[in-house]
Each structure stands twice: as C-alpha cells, then as structure tokens.
Structure 1
Amino acid sequence: MATLILASMPLLNDVELYYEVHGVDGPPLLLVAGPASDVSSRQTVLPGLSEHFRVIVVDNRGIGRSLPADAPVTVDLMADDCAALIDHLGFGPVHVLGHSMGGFTALSLAARYPEKVRKLVIAASGVKSSSRNTLLFSDLADRYERGGDLTDFFRTVFYWIFTPAFFEDEDTVKGAVEFALSYPFPQAPVSFRKQVNAIAAFDGRDSAASVRAPALVLAGSEDLLFSPSAGRTLAEKLPRGKFLAIEGAAHSIHAENPKEFAEAVLSFLKEGDNP
C-alpha cells in the first residue's frame, strides 16, 4: 500500500481539481489517466512507483472528485490543469506519465510547458486517435447516456482494454464489473461524452515534434485501441523518443501487467541517475 501524504481539491483553472500525493521524498512523478479513469485506476502501479518517487495522481476535470462534472474538456485544457497543479505544489520540472487520453494530455503538457516536464512516459497512446476509435467511443457514450443496468457497458469496455486471457477467469471478470458498478465516484454521462469529443479532436503530430524532454512510448503488444505501430509512430516523431512494446499486454497495461509496466517506467526514469 502506497503511503498517502496529501489529498486536496484546490480551485485551479475554474475547476476543483482533486489530487493525491503518495510515496517517498523523491523526484515528483505526475500520473495522468485516460478516459473514464480517475485516481483509483492507478492503484495497481502506485505501490511500486511510490517507493522511488513522490507520485501525484489527479482526477481529470469533470471526473472522479473533480468538479463540476460538466466542465469543458479538451486535451489542452487538461494539460493546462496539470501545469497549474505542478505550480500549485511548488515543484520544478516533474516526470510525467500519461496513459491513453492521458498520453495525449502529457504530450500537450510537454510541448506547451517544456519547463515543467523532466522526462515523459506515454503509454498505450499515439499522436491521434483513429476513426474506428472515434466511432467506438461515441457508441459507448450513447450507451452510457441511456443508463439503466450498465453491466453490458462495462463488459464491452473490458473487451477492448484487456487481453483474452483476462476473460478466462469468470470471477475476475465478474469482480471487475461489480467494482465498476459500485464505484462511489461514477463518471457523469456528460463528462464521458466530453472526454470522447476531446479525444476525437486531438491531433498531436505537430506537438510531438516540438517536445524537448526525453520520452518513452510504451505499447501493449495486444492493444486493440492503440496498436504497437501507433506507439512506434509517436516515438519516431518525438525528437528524443524511445519505444518499448510489452508482450502479452493490451490497452490497460498498468492494470493487467503492473509489474512489467512499473519496471519499464522505473528503468527509463532512473536512466542516467548517479549510482
């Protein structure tokens, strides 16, 4: 269990932004979540990372405990929130780890606020989303807005973010669905729709070329949403980019393969440190 140092919800950029700080008194590492995810989605890797870093986890605008639920959402606005949070905490340049949509946000942050980013890790993401993903996420938003029993909604999401091996254990699948259904801070449909639109609108091809920070792009070899080729393309556009594929991993690398994920992140972030 990671040690919680601080939890707060300051007013930044006209939103009440909920964040937590965990871990040792080490270099700061900001974790930025993907769509339909908040601070709870980082729990699988938080213990391993917080042994080496002062880890900041944040609920993106409009989700989790950040308010209001209907706040405007774009990738650049979420990056602005991250920049404001770094300043609020009084940190200098921080390591930034963004997953999926959070990878878009981390890319925008590194391109537009280069003085705030020390090293950059982008996981299960790319320079932009695909037309197939845009249609898929829009259909999911339609289903979420209809409400009712959302068991089929969450199970459908899981089909896209986990490997086939995940579904071999019925109890694991059932437990994951039950956790999602009973989560005390559910995302409002309006917030999910705004995230879907933000993902569709983002194009980071120019941003990637301007990033000065050393960067690692992580991909799951079985990711259906952002394939390894999408990750490799992003790494090639980053001036100081490296690429690594994790075998046997799908989109939710940190949840299904937390050990391999944390090891890859730690190896990169500690690279070049004095012994």
Structure 2
Amino acid sequence: MKALNTVLIIIIFISNAMSQTNGKYATVNGLKMYYEIHGKGYPLVLIHGGGSTIETTFGRVLPDLAKQHQVIAVELQAHGRTADIDRALSFDHDASDVAALLKQLGISKADIFGFSNGASTALTLAIKYPELVNKIIVASTMYKKSGAYPWLWEMMKTPSFDQMPKQLKEGFLAVNPDENALLSSYKRDVTRMQSFTDMNEEDIKGIKAPTLIIAGDKDVVTPEHAVEMSRQIPDARLLIWPGGHGDYIGEITTATANDGYYPVLSAIEEFLKEK
C-alpha cells in the first residue's frame, strides 16, 4: 500500500510539474492572472467554474482539446493560482480580464469554452467583446435565475463552507496551499451567486457568435432553460447530455471518470470546425 501511495504521489507531482511548465502570469486590470497555453492551432480559451481551477474543471479533457487547438486555460480572480484583489467578483470583471489577456497575447479572435460560472463569463464576453469572440461553448449555465432549480437558491440562503465539495477544496489547495485564500474564494463565489441578476434578454438575443449550449439532463440548470437559451441566441446549437453538472467533461466532482472517454468532445470538435 505504501508503494502504491508513493507512486500516486509521484504521478500527481509530475502532472503538476508539467502543468507548471506551461503556466505564466499576466497583469490585467490590476490582477496578476495565472494562465497556461497548451498545444497548437486556433485559440480556444477555457474558463473554469466557480470554486474551481483549470485542473478541477478541465483536467480530464484538456489534453484532448490541446491536440487540435492552442488551448489558453485561465484561472480567474480569487481562484487557484490567481490571487484576489480589492474589487467585487463579477462576470463583467472576469470577462474584462480575459479580454485584456487575449489582447496582451496578441490574439485578435478566439473560441471560448466556459463551464458553469465560466460559461456566464463566456456569455458576457460574447456580449461585451464580440470583436474578440469567434465561437462560444456555454456549458451548464443559465442567463436568468429561473433557469436553475429552486434548490440552488435555497442552498444559497444559508451557505456553509462544509458544503463545498471536498474535491474542489483539495484541487484548490493542490495549486495554492493557502487555506485562507480557499475560504475567501468560497465566500466570494457565494456572494456573487447570492446577488445573481438576470442577464438582459436583448443582450442574449443580440449574441452574434455561433454558440453551442451544453447541459446535463440532471444538471444544476434545467433542460427547459437550456432549450430556451438555444432559442434566444440566433445561431445556437443545443446538446442535452445524460448526467449531472459537468459529468460530460469529467469535472472533478463527478461520480465517475468515464475511463477517460468523453464522447461530447466529438460534438465539440465538430461544432468548432464548422465554417
């Protein structure tokens, strides 16, 4: 058993070391933002979910995505290796930070793949920075409160740090061992969700970027809302996938790893390749 544990520790260490070799920081809007670049091809920006890191949201699918794309994976304000600063946590600020990073990197246009809160940021990018956005993939998100099941908002009335999934806590501390930063990140995300306001419907209808909407049939967001969103955005496709919040990409809290096989990636690649 000790030998097995030693092997697992070595594997995790090597995995983190490989990630770090691709990791860099950029100062954007007063924020020292951590990001990684993997692979070659047309730029694809990955935006993680709330309480998450690059690895906990996209770790199981990033290597496959990097086979076809120049993947630019970011960690947003108060998440993982990107420290907090003295400003509100908001989708507007996150979108502004990603936009500023792309401009610094000399990337005039990119595809955007956001999960959960990161998908709300992707929608905001498409609305506020359309010149930077080619296509967007918005996974497991809503543009208005009624799009999520009522239990989510009930939970947000009396949140507890104990409710944060163990996998997300461990994933955060694996890249940033500051427990105070983890607690602060949790509180920041909770505050943002408690003050969540509906996006302007006309803004959603005005999105010009081709859009792929993905949701699980047992997700935090309702399938009905995913259908509604697909009808609001003029050039939208819709995928309702079996499973819960992020099962289809192997998000770290999902029950199974699907043996490394994520068929949704084929649909994503087909969407991104379409003219």
TM-score of Structure 1 vs Structure 2, range by shorter chain:
0.7 to 0.9
Query: Are the structure 2 counterparts of residues 233 and 93 from structure 1 closer, same or farther at C-alpha, using a change threshold of 3 Å?
Result: same
Query: Are the structure 2 counterparts of residues 192 and 259 from structure 1 closer, same or farther at C-alpha, using a change threshold of 3 Å?
Result: same
Question: Which ranges in structure 2 are unaligned for 5 or more consecutive residues?
Answer: 1-14
Q: What is the match of residue 35 of structure 2?
A: 19
Residues 74 and 195 in structure 1, CA contact (< 8 A), matched pair in contact too = no
The TM-score normalised by the length of structure 1 is: 0.79
Residues 81 and 175 in structure 2, CA contact (< 8 A), matched pair in contact too = no
Q: What is the match of residue 26 of structure 2?
A: 10
Q: CA deviation at 1:77?
A: 0.6
Q: CA deviation at 1:236?
A: 1.1
Q: Which residue of 108, 118, 134 maps to 2:153?
A: 134
Instruction: Quote the RMSD (CA, aligned, Å).
Output: 2.5
| Distance across 2 between alignment mates of 1:66 and 1:18 | 5
Q: Which residue of 58, 65, 82 maps to 1:49?
A: 65
| Distance across 2 between alignment mates of 1:177 and 1:114 | 32
Q: What is the match of residue 231 of structure 1?
A: 226
Residues 20 and 58 in structure 1, CA contact (< 8 A), matched pair in contact too = yes
Q: Which residue of 174, 179, 198 maps to 1:183?
A: 174
Residues 110 and 135 in structure 2, CA contact (< 8 A), matched pair in contact too = yes
Residues 15 and 71 in structure 1, CA contact (< 8 A), matched pair in contact too = no
| Distance across 2 between alignment mates of 1:50 and 1:181 | 23
Query: Are the structure 2 counterparts of residues 180 and 55 from structure 1 closer, same or farther at C-alpha, using a change threshold of 3 Å?
Result: closer
1:59 and 2:75 correspond = yes
Query: Are the structure 2 counterparts of residues 208 and 69 from structure 1 closer, same or farther at C-alpha, using a change threshold of 3 Å?
Result: same
Render the CA deviation track for 1:53-79: whole Å, top value 9, x for unaligned.
000111111111112266521111111
1:125 is paired with a residue whose SS is coil
The TM-score normalised by the length of structure 2 is: 0.79
Question: Which ranges in structure 1 are unaligned for 5 or more consecutive residues?
Answer: 145-149, 156-175
Residues 227 and 238 in structure 2, CA contact (< 8 A), matched pair in contact too = yes
1:207 and 2:226 correspond = no
Q: What is the match of residue 154 of structure 1?
A: 165
1:54-93 correspondence runs (5 A): 54-68=70-84, 71-93=87-109
Query: Are the structure 2 counterparts of residues 196 and 264 from structure 1 closer, same or farther at C-alpha, using a change threshold of 3 Å?
Result: farther
Equivalent pairs: percent with the same residue?
Answer: 27
| Distance across 2 between alignment mates of 1:19 and 1:234 | 29
1:244 and 2:239 correspond = yes
Q: CA deviation at 1:180?
A: 4.5
Render the CA deviation track for 1:77-102: whole Å, top value 9, x for unaligned.
11101111111111111000111111
Q: CA deviation at 1:17?
A: 0.5
Query: Are the structure 2 counterparts of residues 75 and 263 from structure 1 closer, same or farther at C-alpha, using a change threshold of 3 Å?
Result: same
Q: Which residue of 42, 47, 51 maps to 1:32?
A: 47
2:80 is paired with a residue whose SS is coil
1:201 is paired with a residue whose SS is coil
Residues 42 and 110 in structure 2, CA contact (< 8 A), matched pair in contact too = yes
Residues 48 and 114 in structure 2, CA contact (< 8 A), matched pair in contact too = yes
Residues 31 and 55 in structure 1, CA contact (< 8 A), matched pair in contact too = yes
Total equivalences in the alignment: 241
